């Protein structure tokens, strides 16, 4: 708007931002009470002494008044959505309304407003993150100094919490990585043990005694007897089953395995399998793939 502008016609109610700058001859504004959607109001270098209808701007988030002979800000306490208030070089403004209702206010700036000696309600602004008061009497008021100390303390706590969270995150990630390595190692060991056991039993199962080996008859006979006794195996498995669906799936897989005679659940994660010629290694591998982590707790004779 031009520097010689002296009058502003009625403003459209759909405005969301209104900025008027360097209109030195503009002494009054039309009422702004109909600007229900206004989010930002900026008045710089005007001759305006009053903002009529200010208290009706319930959606206003930013109010900036600079180098204006504003005498008062009636209705300021009703701006409950306000997040930033900036008053600079407004020496005719002799008092600021109680700001305790401005609970959303994050930034408050007051510079060279000689008439403002104190800021009532400042202690109630729990959302305030920045407070800049300079070259005015309010700068030395107890309320302002206390508020500045609170903001500094909150910033220190926030910084500490942030670093603590980062440290916890780093520790958690390190623990998680270590846990994964340990789990992988455990599974490799279990798999190797299972394969070794399987190979041992396979080797024993392939043993045949011939009459030509009579000199070793007693040793081989003992081995064959052990194999025969273990034909009907009892395998106790520990399976991580997080839901009923997992239990059903585990039961299906075990029941369908070759040689299984019976399946019994003990507690939440133990499964007892009894059968003749049950091959434990493929069964465990299938359970791990389809259900979850599976371990052989014991492998012995069944009844």
SS (H, E, C) 106-155: CEEEEECCCCCCCCCCHHHCCCCCEEEEECCHHHHCHHHHHHHHHHHHHH
In the chain, where the domains are located: 17-152, 230-303
CATH class of 230-303: alpha beta
Q: Which residue has the higher pLDDT, 173 or 36?
A: 36
- The CA distance from 218 to 3, in Å, is 119
Lookup: tokens for 95: 């008092």
Per-residue pLDDT reduced to its tens digit, 270-291: 888 888 777 888 888 888 888 8
**Do the bridges between strand 260-266 and strand 270-276 make them parallel or antiparallel, or are there none, so unpaired?**
antiparallel
CATH number, domain 17-152, options 3.20.20.140, 3.80.10.10, 3.30.420.10, 3.40.1010.20: 3.80.10.10
Question: Is residue 99 pLDDT above 90, yes or no?
Answer: yes
Which string of DSSP letters, residue by residue, matches 37-90? Answer: T--EEEEEEE-----TTGGG-TT--EEEEES------TTGGG-TT--EEEEES-
Q: Residue 239 — φ and ψ, nearest 5°?
A: -120, 130
What local confidence, expressed as pLDDT, does residue 184 receive? 65
Q: Which residue has the higher pLDDT, 40 or 179?
A: 40
What is the pLDDT confidence band of residue 153, given thresholds at 50, 70 and 90?
confident
How much of the chain, in percent, has pLDDT values that exceed 90? 40
- The CA distance from 3 to 66, in Å, is 16
What is the pLDDT confidence band of residue 228, given thresholds at 50, 70 and 90?
very low
Question: Is residue 166 pLDDT above 90, yes or no?
Answer: no
Chain-centroid distance, C-alpha 202? 53
Per-residue pLDDT reduced to its tens digit, 254-263: 888 888 888 8
Chain-centroid distance, C-alpha 296? 38
User: Which stretch of 9-18, 50-59, 181-190, 293-302 has the lowest confidence by average pLDDT?
Assistant: 181-190
What is the pLDDT confidence band of residue 227, given thresholds at 50, 70 and 90?
very low
Question: Is residue 226 pLDDT above 50, yes or no?
Answer: no
Question: Is residue 241 pLDDT above 90, yes or no?
Answer: no
């Amino acid at each position: 708007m031009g520097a010689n502008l002296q009058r502003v016609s009625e403003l459209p109610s759909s405005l969301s931002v209104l900025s008027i700058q360097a209109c030195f001859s503009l002494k009054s504004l039309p009422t702004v009470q109909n600007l229900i959607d206004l989010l930002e109001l900026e008045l710089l270098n005007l001759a305006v002494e009053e903002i009529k209808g200010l208290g009706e701007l319930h959606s206003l988030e930013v109010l900036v008044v600079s180098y204006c002979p504003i005498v008062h800000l009636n209705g300021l306490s009703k701006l409950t959505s306000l997040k930033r208030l900036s008053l600079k070089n407004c020496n005719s403004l002799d008092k600021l309304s109680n700001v305790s209702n401005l609970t959303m206010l994050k930034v408050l700036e007051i510079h060279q407003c000689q008439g403002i000696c104190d800021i009532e309600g400042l202690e109630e602004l729990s959302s305030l993150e920045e407070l800049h008061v300079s070259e005015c009497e309010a700068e030395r008021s107890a309320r302002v100094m206390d508020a500045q100390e609170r903001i500094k303390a909150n910033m220190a706590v926030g910084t500490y919490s942030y670093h603590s969270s980062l440290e916890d995150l780093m520790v958690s990630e390190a623990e998680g990585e270590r846990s994964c390595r340990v789990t992988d190692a455990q599974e490799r060991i279990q798999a190797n043990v299972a394969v070794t056991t399987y190979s041992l039993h396979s080797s024993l199962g392939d043993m045949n005694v011939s009459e030509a080996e009579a000199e070793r008859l007693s040793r081989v006979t003992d081995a064959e007897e052990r194999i025969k006794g273990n034909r009907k195996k009892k395998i106790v498995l520990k399976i991580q089953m997080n839901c009923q669906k997992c239990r059903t799936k585990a039961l299906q897989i075990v029941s369908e395995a070759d040689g299984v005679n019976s399946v019994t659940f003990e507690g939440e994660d133990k499964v007892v399998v009894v059968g003749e010629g049950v091959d434990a290694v493929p069964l465990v591998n299938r359970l791990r793939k389809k259900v979850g982590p599976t371990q052989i707790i014991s492998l012995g004779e069944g009844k």
